[in-house]
Structure 1
Amino acid sequence: MNPRDEQAIDAAKLYYRDGLSQGEVADRLGVSRPTVSKLVQHAKERGFVAIEIRDPRETGSALADRLAQRFDLAEVRLAHTAHTGAALTRELGRLGAEVLTEEIADGDLVGVGWGETMYAVARALTPQPRHGVEFVQLKGGLSLTPRSTNDVETMTSFCRAFDAHPRMLPLPVIFDSAEVKRIVEGERHIRHILDLGREAPTAIFTVGGISPQAMLFNLGHLTDEERDALQVRAVGDMCSRFFDENGDIALPELDERTVGISLADLRAKPTRILVAGGPSKIRPLEVALASGYATHLVTDAGTAARVLGEDVADRDASPDPPHGVDGDAAARGDT
Structure 2
Amino acid sequence: MENKLISQLTTIAELYYMQGLTQQEISKRVHIHRSEISRLLKEARKLGLVQITVNSNVQSLNSLQDFLIKKFNLKDALVVPENTESLDLQMLGEFAAQYLSKKITNNSVIGVSWGRSLAHTIQSMPDQSQRRGITVVPLIGGPAGRLKNDYQSNKLVYILAERLNAKGESLNCPALVSSKALKSELTSNPNIQVVLNYWEDLDYALVGIGSNAITNLTQWKEFYKNSDFTNLLKKTNAVGDILSRPYTQDGKIIKSSKLNVIGLDLNSLKKVPNVVGIACGKNKVRSILGALNTGVLNVLITTDITALGIKSLCTSESQM
Output the TM-score relative to the length of structure 2.
Answer: 0.75
Q: Deviations over 1:75-110 (max 9, x none)?
A: 21112123686x431122112212221221111111
Cα distance, 1:277 vs structure 2: 0.6
Q: Distance in 2 between matches of 1:198 and 1:214?
A: 34
Q: Distance in 1 between matches of 2:305 and 2:116?
A: 19
Q: How does 1:64-143 map to 2 (within 5 A)?
A: 64-82=65-83, 87-128=87-128, 129-143=130-144
| 1:252 aligns with one of 227, 243, 256 | 256
* The 10-residue stretch of structure 1 (290-299 or 87-96) with the greater mean CA deviation from structure 2: 87-96
How many residues matched?
268
Structure 1 residues 193 and 61: alpha-carbon distance in aligned structure 2, compared to 1, 3 A threshold: same
- The answer (yes or no) to whether the contact 2:92–2:303 under 8 Å persists in 1 is yes
- The answer (yes or no) to whether the contact 1:84–1:278 under 8 Å persists in 2 is no
| 1:217 aligns with one of 213, 221, 245 | 221
Corresponding residue number in structure 1 for 2:170: 168
Q: Distance in 2 between matches of 1:268 and 1:261?
A: 11
Amino acid paired to 2:88? L
Amino acid paired to 1:115? G
Structure of higher CA gyration radius: 1
Q: Deviations over 1:172-216 (max 9, x none)?
A: 110122211111111222122112124212111111001312854
Q: Distance in 1 between matches of 2:243 and 2:262?
A: 9
SS of equivalent residue, structure 1 residue 242: strand
Structure 1 residues 47 and 88: alpha-carbon distance in aligned structure 2, compared to 1, 3 A threshold: closer
Structure 1 residues 222 and 82: alpha-carbon distance in aligned structure 2, compared to 1, 3 A threshold: farther
Corresponding residue number in structure 2 for 1:288: 291
Structure 1 residues 184 and 84: alpha-carbon distance in aligned structure 2, compared to 1, 3 A threshold: farther
Q: Distance in 2 between matches of 1:241 and 1:168?
A: 20
- The answer (yes or no) to whether the contact 1:168–1:193 under 8 Å persists in 2 is yes
- The answer (yes or no) to whether the contact 1:198–1:266 under 8 Å persists in 2 is no
SS of equivalent residue, structure 1 residue 309: helix
* The 10-residue stretch of structure 1 (270-279 or 91-100) with the greater mean CA deviation from structure 2: 91-100
Unmatched runs of 5 consecutive residues or more in structure 1: 9-43, 312-335
- The answer (yes or no) to whether the contact 1:235–1:242 under 8 Å persists in 2 is yes
| 1:177 aligns with one of 172, 179, 184 | 179
Q: Moved runs in structure 1, 4+ residues, more than 6 A?
A: none
Structure 1 residues 46 and 105: alpha-carbon distance in aligned structure 2, compared to 1, 3 A threshold: closer
Corresponding residue number in structure 2 for 1:236: 240
Unmatched runs of 5 consecutive residues or more in structure 2: 6-38, 47-51, 315-320
Cα distance, 1:276 vs structure 2: 0.7
Q: Quick check: 1:200 aligned with 2:202? A: yes
Structure 1 residues 178 and 240: alpha-carbon distance in aligned structure 2, compared to 1, 3 A threshold: same
Q: Distance in 2 between matches of 1:66 and 1:134?
A: 33
Q: Distance in 1 between matches of 2:197 and 2:293?
A: 27
SS of equivalent residue, structure 1 residue 304: helix
Corresponding residue number in structure 2 for 1:297: 300
Cα distance, 1:54 vs structure 2: 6.4
Output the TM-score relative to the length of structure 1.
Answer: 0.72
Amino acid paired to 2:66? D
Q: Distance in 1 between matches of 2:41 and 2:177?
A: 50
Q: Distance in 1 between matches of 2:264 and 2:142?
A: 13
Corresponding residue number in structure 2 for 1:21: none
SS of equivalent residue, structure 2 residue 257: helix
Could you tell me the percent identity over the aligned residues? 20
